[in-house]
A and B are shown apart, each in its own frame.
Chain A
Amino acid sequence: MKRGFRRLTTLLSLGVMTLLLSGCSNDIIVLNPKGEIAKHQMDLIYITTGLCLLIILPVLILTFFIVWRYRNRPDSKAKYKPEWEHNTKLEVVWWTIPVIIIILIGIVTVQYTYKLEPSKPLEHEADPIVIQVTSLDWKWLFQYPDQDIATVNYVQFPEDVPIRFELTSDAPMNSFWIPQLGGQIYTMSGMAMTLHLIADEPGEYLGSGANFSGKDFAKMQFVANATSQEEFDQWVEQIKATSPELTDEGYQALAEPGVSEKVTYSGLPENLFERTVAKYGSKHNHGSVEHDEQTHDEQERG
């Protein structure tokens, strides 16, 4: 047993070392948030981890202590009570401890669930910019209805302006995730989901498809680039000036299975996003009725 403990400690220190060597917390992007939503999520992760540790750590210590103390040795001075099998007080104690911890975690969870509901608009003086996201086999299409441009595997937006992502899929379901800005949301055909995010500072952030969608799913990473408002406006102008238009035929070709580089388009086909959603019939509206209303006011705007 002694040998066992020694091995365990070596193991633990090895684990800590790998953690430290792995380039520290900057790479652990979920814990290095750059947007309001992701910051709240990180707080929540820390709070709930802390609450869990409150019960886990004593249990781990107790385990080692008990195993050590009551292991069978000839000269053991520990008590031995083979018939002792019940103690109401003790049992009440350890039914109560987890109940209390779970109540605490539960309360925090409820609060944050309403606060961070992804379809809820963020409170901010600026009006949100709308970006329509379509997951395709195996690439991401981003449409900017107000700017009348589109990009593939590359999304850019101004910092400190709320972004209203509207998401759907024209391929098997996927999941849209920019960890440093906030948690993921599924993209599903026949339905438009909403995800509100914001970037607090400029930077290039990793984005990816998180839900397996077939052969080249691993290639569905994209760059999310937050810039200043001026840079963003210049970027839009530049795309308008230099890029080809996205046509219906162009979209058909793009939607064919296959991987893609970054591409930019000026000009969008009329209501492409709404038509992609509608293509699958309008049956798909689990969750809130909001989905339908959104699609409607998008149609008014478009």
Chain B
Amino acid sequence: MWDNIKEFASEFFVTGDPLIYGADVAIGLSIVAIVFVMTYFKKWTWLWREWLTTVDHKRIGIMYVIASLLMLFRGGVDALLMRTQLAMPELEFLSPEHYNGIFTTHGVIMILFMAMPLMFGLFNLVVPLQIGARDVAFPFLNSLSFWLFFWGAMLFNVSFVIGGSPDTGWLAYPPLSGIQFSPGVGQDFYIWGIQISGIGSLMTGINFIVTILKMRAPGMKLMKMPMFSWSVLSSSLTIILAFPILTITLALLFIDRYLGAHFFTLDGGGNPMMYINLIWMWGHPEVYIVILPAFGIFSEIVATFSKKRLFGYKSMVFALMAISVTSFFTWAHHFFTMGSGANVNVFFAISTMIIAIPTGVKVFNWLFTMFRGKITIKTPMLWTIGFIPCFVVGGMTGVMLSVAPADFQFHNSYFLIAHFHQVLIGGVAFGYFAALSYWWPKVFGFKLNERLGKWAFWMWGIGFYVCFMPQYVLGLMGMTRRVNTYSWDSGWWELNLVSTIGGFLMGIGFLFQVWQILHSIKHMERDTTGDPWDGRTLEWTIPSPAPAYNFAVIPHVNERDSFWEEKQRRERGLVPDPQPELEPIHMPKNSGIPFIKSFCWFVVGFGFVFDWLWMSIPGVIGIIACMLAHSFNYKTDYYIPVEEIKRTEAAARGSI
């Protein structure tokens, strides 16, 4: 009996590595600490009522942001571990198995559990406010999406200490990811973690398309909509076309592994090529899904901080849409060297280059928004200005990679690593950081500290160039990606050392951000105006933080930059139109079902990972029970009475 337990535990828990024991201890201690604090301050019911069951898009947005920043920490630690291992030749800091697990989880976490949720957080925090809506189209679904992401991410993350991490790369090409070459549970964690959160992403895409198309304030024609909302629309359209491909691909991989089918293995008549095609049909659009909202963010910030209208609005909209369509016709540029023949390579080389055109146009439009403006350089603007050169150069190396015969030399080398980090960090990460500091006061009612923010920016900015510029050169020196070590006579070590130093500088940048947030909470610089940046769009018309119902009276929109125009009119002494009478506001009720149902998905996934049907079956039953419970629940909404609205508004505006 005892021996059985011991044997089971030694397979179940990952052992034999001090890093993992460290993680075990850290996880254990934090759980104990959380439970203790919550119990001591009697916060459990508060947590459940106000947060875990909330359907308020602003709170869901906040939870997305918190979760993704935690994931940024985890992914960042992974990155620094890898960079430490590569700092010098022939180091034995990480074993090959461990290194492979770490670069796989780093890639998956950064893209799917850091960038995506941070993006969804911003969708939730900003879009309804920006289009003058009281909520998203499907608040219940919205909460479900969040919790599916959350539990999917948790499932993926426990693989580090339970069972073992996946280690076949973030796109898990078969046959390496098949049962023959990856018999462990890591790959199943990968499949289920991504699958569960992927369903959440798909639903968020649908939710925001409907929200934007159906719930804009009266008068806000599509061509009067703020640019961030446009970028969310284009990104969401790309999501609903791309994510079903991912779902099916992973399902087939699971069937291969679990039921011994041969969709992706040659010996049974399948073909790994099919997987590679499918995964990139999702994977390439995916990188555009995360960059498009960043384009929207920069457009908002550039206009606000230049005190000028966005230049070339129509071309900007057209460019966004062109990019999301074209992104579906480029996937084969990820395997030019697979011998598809010259005709295929020519097609995908050209279709890839075409994307550079609308992207380039957007850069010109941003520049000409600043041109003849009055630029104030606050942190959001600083990130934006830092982004432009970084993205321009990253885009250029992207064009170089798309030159198929030249890519024969760049592919799978550090040149590629440098390129995609340049666009992902310099574009996506900088963009979302800019957005966080820009909309922070609207969400929390206080500003982030400027000085620490600038420190964070410079650390990230300098660290970025120190880390990744040498990697372009390393690629040309023949260093291939995903190597866990290299020899002294390769001549690569100086540049690798420099690169590692840059990585740690970015780590310091992250610490500055944490410090910035903590410091700003402590020494709050309250935003009493609701409009700390002299903004142009609707979200700045309401108090900060926004009340639960967002707008006491739904605004009427006559032009682009409607708030800016109104401020101009007020300055000219014109009185605003009289506001209509307040009416009771219809709101959705909180629900615990999304949380419980997503947790059941976690249970199902965990059961399948370990092949424990006794665990999966109750999970499935739980999911069905949640569905039934929800469909028979008719008490899903309530009204906020006029009295209460008046009180809230008076309190919020009292300080003006």
Contact = CB atoms under 8 A, between A and B. Distances in A.
Interface of A: 1, 4, 7, 11, 14-15, 18-19, 21-23, 27-31, 38, 40-41, 44-45, 48-49, 52-53, 55-56, 59-60, 62-63, 66-67, 70-72, 76, 78-86, 90-91, 94-95, 97-99, 102, 105-106, 108-110, 112-119, 172-173, 175, 177, 179, 182-186, 188-190, 193-194, 206, 208-218, 280-281, 283-284, 286-288, 291
Interface string B324-368: 000000000001011111101110011001101100110111011
A219 to B, nearest CB: 9
B360 A94 contact: yes
Nearest to B402: A109
Given A7-B458, A218-B485, A288-B341, 17 more contacts: A23-B491, A41-B406, A44-B405, A60-B389, A60-B392, A84-B372, A105-B399, A110-B346, A114-B342, A117-B342, A184-B411, A206-B478, A208-B480, A209-B480, A212-B169, A283-B271, A287-B341
B571 to A, nearest CB: 12
Given A30-B409, A72-B375, A183-B409, A67 B339 contact: no
Contacts of A208: 478, 480
A281 B266 contact: yes
Given A45-B406, A208-B480, A183 B361 contact: no
Given A85-B312, A287-B341, A215 B97 contact: yes
Contacts of A52: 396, 399-400
A29 B215 CA distance: 57
B449 interface: no
A191 to B, nearest CB: 8
Contacts of B130: none
A54 B32 CA distance: 59
Given A28-B477, A184-B411, A41 B175 contact: no
Given A94-B361, A95-B361, A184-B412, A287 B176 contact: no
A260 B100 CA distance: 20
A135 B613 CA distance: 39
B396 A56 contact: yes
A72 B405 contact: no
Interface stretch (B70-78, B135-143, B229-237, B301-309): B301-309
A28 B340 contact: no
B403 A18 contact: no
A83 B405 CA distance: 47
A280 to B, nearest CB: 4
A102 B356 contact: yes
B45 interface: no
Contacts of B267: 280-281
Interface string B368-405: 10111111110000000100110011001001101111
- Which secondary structure dominates chain B's binding surface? helix
A62 B475 CA distance: 30
Contacts of B653: none
A67 B472 CA distance: 28
A27 B477 contact: yes
B481 interface: yes
A30 B176 contact: no
Interface in B157-186: 168-169, 173, 175-176, 181
A184 B408 contact: yes
The 9 closest A-B pairs by CB, nearest first: A183-B408, A85-B309, A210-B412, A280-B266, A218-B483, A172-B176, A94-B364, A98-B360, A212-B482
14 contacts: A30-B409, A60-B392, A80-B308, A81-B308, A84-B372, A97-B360, A98-B361, A99-B357, A179-B409, A208-B478, A210-B481, A217-B483, A286-B338, A287-B341
B405 A189 contact: no
A186 B367 contact: no
Contacts of A291: 339
Interface-centre pick from A29, A109, A186, A215 (highest chain B CB count, 10 A): A109
B444 interface: no
A131 B262 CA distance: 31
Contact of A22 (B367, B413, B462, B494): B494
A109 B350 contact: yes
Contact of A186 (B314, B338, B413, B476): B338
A198 to B, nearest CB: 15
Contact of A210 (B173, B413, B486): B413
B308 A82 contact: yes
